[in-house]
Amino acid sequence: MHDARVVAARILVLVPAGAWVLLAPAALSPYLLIIWCYALIFSIACLGLNLVFGTTGLLSLGHAAYFGAGAYAGAFLYRFADIHSFEVYFLVGILTSTLLAAGIGFLCVRATKIHFAILTLAFGQIFHSLFIDGAIFRLFGPLGWALYLVGEGSMYIPRLTILGIEFEPEEFIPAFYYVIVFAFCASVFLLWRINHSPFGKALRAIRDNQTRAVYIGIPVRQYRWYAFTISGVFLGLAGALYGQLDRQITPEQLDWLFSAELVLATVLGGTRDFIGPVLGAFVFIGLDEIAGRWAIGHNIMMGLLLMLVVFVFPRGLAGTLDLVPGIRKVGLLMKRKWL
């Protein structure tokens, strides 16, 4: 039997949320809709990162590489295979980022703690410098080199067809929004399942006490590698969506400073609560939007915010919200096992 309160809480939360999600394109101005889309995409990336960071306890400073790979792969495909289908672009992006994460992850999970952070940083920067230098573009011959010169490593991505439909400029974002929402819901669902599976529990066991995890028979390095690779899937997914939304991809999305932003948003939201990274991503994008108005002072604001979170909200926003009794209650009811 359903507990009536559980049902009530779910209706209370999910119905308005669902209505808002469906109506957002009509309710928001074109610009705010774009920002809303960014926040959803950023959330996916932060959730993916948190599988490695919060759940497994490994701080990665190189996740920008998988995000960027997700967008770049499709951009090259469009340029050199002349494919205009978003679906193909999207899948190629995810596949590339997954393979890249599997490869780099295999090498990185040998290390832990600060050494892991620096190893991921080094690999991320190798990847970044290959784009900055144009080395990747040289692989694509004279046209690739010309592309590099046009954009200094940035690539333009046109409006692709979604399910075979070509959209006009004004219609495109509202239509693409539903793709993003779908991807967001799917990512939340999948990551939720992964987090609450025995595998997810094993990852937390590794995070909390590696030695004990070894004793109870968890193949630690292998599981870390799996977690890293899975997070690469979601980073690639987010990157591919980002490329199509922004309609370009630049080496800035590969740089360690972007990796640091992902970490920052995740910590802001809270790494120990499943929904923390989503909260963090939304707040981060919102603050970035506000701070962006001031041409200078943006960094100061972000820096001070970071310090504030570390000192005042050590468990992140999600952890802090959890201290509010009403919200805590609704949260618990939401988490109750779904029948």
Can you give the binding site for another protein, defined by CB under 8 A?
Answer: 29-32, 34, 53, 59, 107, 110-115, 117-119, 121-123, 125-126, 129-130, 132-135, 146, 148-152, 154, 156, 169, 246-248, 250, 252-253, 256-257, 260, 263-264, 267, 292, 295-300, 302-307, 310-311, 314
Burial pattern 291-301, b for ≥16 Cβ within 10 A else e, equals eeeeeeeeeee
Smallest gap, in angstroms, from Cβ of residue 124 to another protein? 9
Report in angstroms how near the CB of residue 246 gets to another protein at its nearest.
Answer: 7
- Closest to another protein by CB, 81 vs 150, is 150
The bridge status of strand 155-156 relative to strand 248-249 is antiparallel
Among residues 1 and 299, whose Cβ is nearest to another protein? 299
Q: Which is nearer to another protein, 122 or 333 (CB)?
A: 122
Place of tokens 């995890």: 213
Rounded CA-CA distance 125/116 in Å is 14
Tell the smallest beta-carbon distance from residue 330 to another protein (Å): 26
DSSP lists the bridge partners of residue 162 as 165
Q: What is the DSSP letter of 273?
A: S
Nearer to another protein, 187 or 207 (CB): 207
Q: At residue 155, what are phi and psi to the nearest 5 degrees?
A: -130, 145
The pair of three-digit structure tokens given for residue 18, joined into one six-digit string: 């669902």
Please provide the size of the chain in residues: 339
| 249, β-bridge pairs | 155
Specify the residue, 9 or 58, whose C-beta has the smaller distance to another protein: 58
The answer to whether 297 and 291 are in contact (CB under 8 A) is yes
Give the Å distances, CA to CA, from 272 to 94, 138, 205, 300: 26, 43, 13, 27
Nearest Cα residue to 41 out of 77, 93, 106, 101:
93
Closest to another protein by CB, 53 vs 226, is 53
**Smallest distance from another protein to CB 5, Å:** 29
The least CB distance from residue 34 to another protein, in Å, is 6
Considering beta carbons, is residue 165 or 295 the nearer one to another protein? 295
Phi-psi region of 58 (alpha: psi -120 to 50; beta: other; left: phi over 0): beta
Minimal distance, residue 10 CB to another protein, in Å = 32
Scored b (16 or more CB within 10 A) or e, 112-151 reads: beeebbebbbebbbebbebbbebebbeeeeeebeebbeeb
Q: How far is the CB of 155 from another protein (least distance, A)?
A: 9
CB of 7 to another protein, least distance (A): 34
In this complex, which beta carbon is closest to another protein, that of residue 99 or of residue 334? 99
Token reading at 114: 């600060």
